[in-house]
Amino acid sequence: MNNKMSDLLYCEFYKINRKHTLLKLAIAIVVIALAITALSAVLQSIFPSVVISEGLADYDAQIASLKAEMAVIQAESSWIDKLIVTNSIAGYKARIAILEYLKAHNVTSGSTMAYTSNSTLGLFGFDVYSFTNICMSVLMSVVIIFLIVACCRTTCGEYASGAMKMQFLRPLNKNKFFTAKWLSVVIVAEALTLISFFLSLILGLILYGPNALNVAFVAGSLVTIVPPMGALMIILLINMVQVFALTQATMFICSLCNTYGKSIVLCLLFLFFSFGTWVEYVLAVPYVGYLGFLANLDWSSGISVDGTIFKGMSIWGMIPITLLWCALFMWFSYKRFNKKEV
């Protein structure tokens, strides 16, 4: 077998697209996006006057109200209240920081909304930003499922079927071979992410036009106000980073398994169920989230007012730790792959 990276990549792209997989996936993405568009249009006709309040008007009253609520939560000793994400002290501090920033900079009331990691509210936003955010969120679930299946099929699936073992009998550079496998999945998944974003954006512009509120991002006490298109670019960047990191994590899990079924189950359990997150809300242990890959990967929680961020964590710590996790995943994956038996 030719060891040229371009040839290896071509082979892996061909395997991913067997039976026109990518065409079918693209059609599914378009259909889902159109369905969300129709749903949003129907909701707008039913609730034409609905306005989602982000608590950014009447600054003094809102700040006083939030501080009073936060004081009550801080005094509350019941463990069950710690399970309620919307009652997190970090969330209250984030909202207060945004309000104080807007008041200090004389920002017109009602011109800015706080960034929320709960994209489902976008169904009632009825503007290009809210629609693109919710549509992108739904389509990203499809992209993540694709990358899990693609990783498991090109590694564990080929190994279990014997196809990979036959290739190992040839003078094949295993490092290049493995690089071609994960790189092909990353490239296709990132391309699908971009397609999903621009499709959502175009449909949002057609449905609601370019007008939308500015968006306030908050990281600790640092508040940044960006226009809606800038906010969407930030969301796109976060999604692309998550796709890259989740691919590394999936390849790591696949390196531990030799069967397709086992790898699929483990990947779904690991990536879709954030085990241990609820334990932190019960115990409220500071900084424990830095030990978890998924906790650090959720960058949106570090810049929103309602993210399920662990106590003591910040976006500034989450970014380098995410990159460290990715490096560890890939190092271990290469090491395991090179030990695969013929």
Residues 18-73 pLDDT 10s? 878 888 899 999 999 999 999 988 888 887 655 444 444 578 888 888 888 878 77
| pLDDT above 60 for 112 | yes
- On whether residue 179 sits in a domain, the answer given is yes
For 156-187, write each residue's pLDDT tens digit: 887 777 777 777 666 677 788 888 888 999 99
Domain holding 130, by residue range, is: 15-338
Q: Report the pLDDT averaged over residues 322-328.
A: 93
Domain count, the chain: 1
* Tokens at 135, concatenated: 């549509």
Residue 192 near residue 29, CB atoms below 8 Å: yes
Cα separation values, 208 from 41, 114, 211, Å: 9, 20, 8
- On whether residue 69 sits in a domain, the answer given is yes
- Strand boundaries in the chain, DSSP class E: 112-114, 214-219, 222-226
- On whether residue 249 sits in a domain, the answer given is yes
- On whether residue 48 sits in a domain, the answer given is yes
- On whether residue 313 sits in a domain, the answer given is yes
- On whether residue 109 sits in a domain, the answer given is yes
In this structure, what are the phi and psi dihedrals at residue 116, rounded to the nearest 5 degrees?
A: -120, 140
Average pLDDT, rounded, for the chain: 81
- On whether residue 7 sits in a domain, the answer given is no
- On whether residue 2 sits in a domain, the answer given is no
Percentage with pLDDT > 70 across the chain: 84
Own/partner contacts of 12-17, CB < 8 Å, gap of 24 or more, are: 12/154, 12/180, 12/181, 12/183, 12/184, 13/184, 13/188, 15/153, 15/154, 15/158, 15/184, 16/150, 16/154, 16/184, 16/185, 16/188
Question: What CA–CA distance (Å, rounded) separates 292 from 273?
Answer: 13
